[in-house]
Structure 1
Amino acid sequence: MSEARSGVDTPGPAQRRGRLGAARLILILGAVLLVGTACVRFPAPPSDPPTATAVPPTPPGARTDVPREPTPNSETCDATVSLRPPAQMPVPGQMPVRSTMADILGRGRLIVGLDTGSNLFSFRDPITGDIQGFDVDIARAIAQAIFGEPTVEYKVLSSGDRIRALHDGTVDVVVKTMSITCDRVRDVAFSTPYYVASQRILVMRNSQVTTARGLAGKRVCAARGVTSIGRMQSIEPRAKMVTTTTWADCLVMMQQGEVDAATTDDAILAGLAEQDPWVQVVGPSLGEEYYGVGMAQGHDDLVRFVNGVLDQLRISGGWQQIYNRWLSILGTNYPPIPVYRE
């Protein structure tokens, strides 16, 4: 006699064991996930926040131990008076026998001391690599008068090396924004002035400094060996002078916040301002500077010859052309009137 079956199947022993195993597996997996999740939630061990420090590189040769220097032209002298040029200039390529110019002609080039960091006066063109500027054109005019063409060799000098280079014969002339002063005429034979500049101040545009008095306690940069240092120390003794090898270094230190200002002649400062729109020239003139071509003492014939070249530039309009080419940013200007002695 057969048993009647209900409509619901009853699991057998094998099925029950399978379901039990599956349940255990689910419990184990759940535990693993729980443990894994719990591990992720543990906080990371404490660590110091990331740090980064950068010290602005100070230009080589920068100094803060600047001694007191004399005020330019603090004594009375006729520093800008120079030797009268010859009544008739020699023909280019035919210099007087046994003259300093004949020696230069025989060598085949005029050796000129200048620098490549005074924008507008003497600097290296970033595209062509040529040295050019107002001082360069004055030097080329001197060479043109000797050779008939501007045959020049340039020696790059710092401001502090100019006089030494003349003494040891490294260069024939220095055309490097070199101010004629009573102190320097003891060591250097100067031409008549070929440019007159005014000392002023260069600051960042957000600076509150507008006069020399505002530099009390401030760091003020200048290239070593220039007359601007002594004048600033005289006008504002509380200014903290910093000296560098070049004017370009002063601009870099201003950009890095290592100095508060720079001071020198307005023409040089205008050249720095052209390189950075965030700086500006401020304040009234602190004093005038007369630039002259520097030569070694004892070479009076060369001094007279150079004065003759400068005279020709004034009369012919050549000086005005050079000025308009490089310094028109400073406004209208004219060549200085020379004063001669015999």
Structure 2
Amino acid sequence: MRRRSQGAGHGDGTRRVLVAIVTGLAICATATGCVRFPAPPSPPPVAFGVQPTPQGAEPDAAREPAPNSQTCDATVSLRPGPMPVPAQMPIRTTMADILGRGRLIVGLDIGSNLFSFRDPITGDIQGFDVDIARAISQAIFDDPNTIEYRVLSSAERTEALIDHSVDVVVKTMSITCDRLRDVAFSSPYYVASQRILSTRNSGIDGPAALAGKQVCAARGATSIGRIQSIAPRARMVTTTTWADCLVMMQQAQVDAVTTDDAILAGLAEQDPWMQLVGPSLGEEYYGVGIPKGQDDMVRFVNGVLQQLRVSGRWQQMYDRWLSILGPGNGPPPPVYRD
């Protein structure tokens, strides 16, 4: 009994101490004379925003020679022969091999707005270059849609023709003396002028303003060597596609883009803050790239292009896709060497 009484008294005492502590804390919370111990100051939260760089972008690109640094008759091509009936190609010809395979393999890209791009609503690949490819397919198969597209970067075009992984390249490919060592070309189907794309508030109005500026171009484009010769103090940044150049300029990672006016117009159409500036820096003649040694295919494609010129179809294609560049001067006249 004594132990039980002592244990009960000890428990009551503990409860009284706890009640006193809680009561004291409550009084202190409402009194003005209590000692307070503020929490140590905490630094404000810090966030670092890092702008993503497109995959494959390379700053400080190596210097390249200006296009056509050695003079040659680059745009002179083979005269077209009689055009065969569609779906009835002459035997033992490149066109017969393509017909037998059942599809035309075309190298292009899907990031060159106006020339070759994927429609965001339908998913179809379309544009001026695509219409050229469809005309070739129509002439072989009597069907403009018998095409397998292979997406290529600018730097991959020549190699795809050398290893015959494509039948033709229709991808804003300029005819140059350097490229003619490795591949063949049709007669020109379009003439472009190299210019500069900048933002409206950049102060860049021509090549002289590019000194010390970051200038973007797709790897493998002839525009790199030309701008390096005209504005040697420009700092070149190369990317895989022209769309990557647009993204980098929107993120202020580069100051300008330079290439052919038709490609730049397609970029500017996607962003109202972009504008083409300065004079023409040189002309570029686009041709259909064809594997070297396939003279029959060169003559055949030249026949297709001639039909587009004389029928008025070329002008219809221009009006649909490239009217943003103005009325234009019509298709470039072909020059043949035989």
Deviation at 1:102, TM superposition (A): 0.2
Out of 41, 45, 48, the position equivalent to 2:43 is 48
Alignment equivalent of 2:86, drawn from 92, 98, 101: 92
- CA shift, 1:66, in A, is 1.3
Q: Distance in 2 between matches of 1:61 and 1:190?
A: 28
CA distance in 2, matches of 1:256, 1:43: 44
Q: Please, which of 246, 255, 263 is the counterpart of residue 260 of structure 1?
A: 255
Q: Which residue of 2 aligns with 1:247?
A: 242
Distance apart, 1:32 and its partner CA: 3.8
Counterpart-to-counterpart distance in 2, 1:172 and 1:29? 91
Describe how 1:222-241 pairs up with structure 2 within 5 A: 222-241=217-236
Q: What SS does the corresponding residue of 1:263 show, helix, strand or coil?
A: strand
Structure 1 distance, partners of 2:202, 2:243, is 20
Q: Is the contact made by 2:196 and 2:258 (CA closer than 8 Å) also made in structure 1?
A: yes
Which residues in structure 2 correspond to 1:1-342 (within 5 Å)? 32-36=26-30, 43-86=38-81, 88-150=82-144, 151-333=146-328, 334-342=330-338
Partner amino acid, structure 2, of 1:68: R
Q: Could you report, residue by residue, the CA deviation over 1:73-127 in whole angstroms, capped at 9, with x for unpaired residues?
A: 12211000000000x2100001011000000000011000000000000000111
Structure 1 unmatched runs, 5+: 1-27
SS at match of 2:90: coil
Aligned residue in 1 for 2:13 = none
TM-score normalised over the length of structure 1: 0.89
Aligned length: 314
CA distance in 2, matches of 1:89, 1:198: 32
1:23-79: per-residue Cα shift (whole Å, max 9, x none)?
xxxxx9899444445579754421111111111110000011411111111221100
1:243/1:35 CA distance change after superposition, 3 Å: same
Query: How far apart, in 2, do the equivalents of 1:259 and 1:293 lie?
Result: 31
**1:195-248 per-position Cα deviation (integer Å, ceiling 9, x unaligned):** 000001111111100001100000000000000000000000100000000000
Instruction: Quote the sequence identity (%).
Output: 76
SS in 2 for 1:71: coil
Deviations, residues 113-143 of structure 1 (Å, cap 9, x unaligned): 0000000000001111110000000000011
The answer to whether the Cα contact below 8 Å between 2:205 and 2:278 also exists between their aligned partners in 1 is yes
Q: Which amino acid aligns with 1:137?
A: D
Task: Note the C-alpha offset of 1:269.
Answer: 0.5
Q: Please, which runs of 5 or more residues in structure 2 have no aligned partner?
A: 1-21
CA distance in 2, matches of 1:209, 1:327: 25
Q: CA RMSD in A?
A: 1.6
Q: For each residue in 1:146-201, what CA deviation from the matched residue of structure 2 results, as whole angstroms up to 9, or x when unmatched?
A: 01011111000000000110111110000000000111111110000000000011
Q: Deviations over 1:3-37 (max 9, x none)?
A: xxxxxxxxxxxxxxxxxxxxxxxxx9899444445
- With normalisation by structure 2, the TM-score equals 0.90
Amino acid at match of 1:136: V
Structure number with greater Rg is 1
Distance 1:41 1:202, change over 3 A: farther
Equivalent-residue separation in structure 1 for 2:97 and 2:120 (angstroms):
34
User: Which stretch shifts more, 47-56 or 166-175?
Assistant: 47-56
Amino acid at match of 1:120: L
The verdict on how the C-alpha distance between 1:192 and 1:31 changes in structure 2, with shifts beyond 3 A counting, is: closer
CA distance in 1, matches of 2:27, 2:316: 87
Change (3 A) 1:46 1:144: same
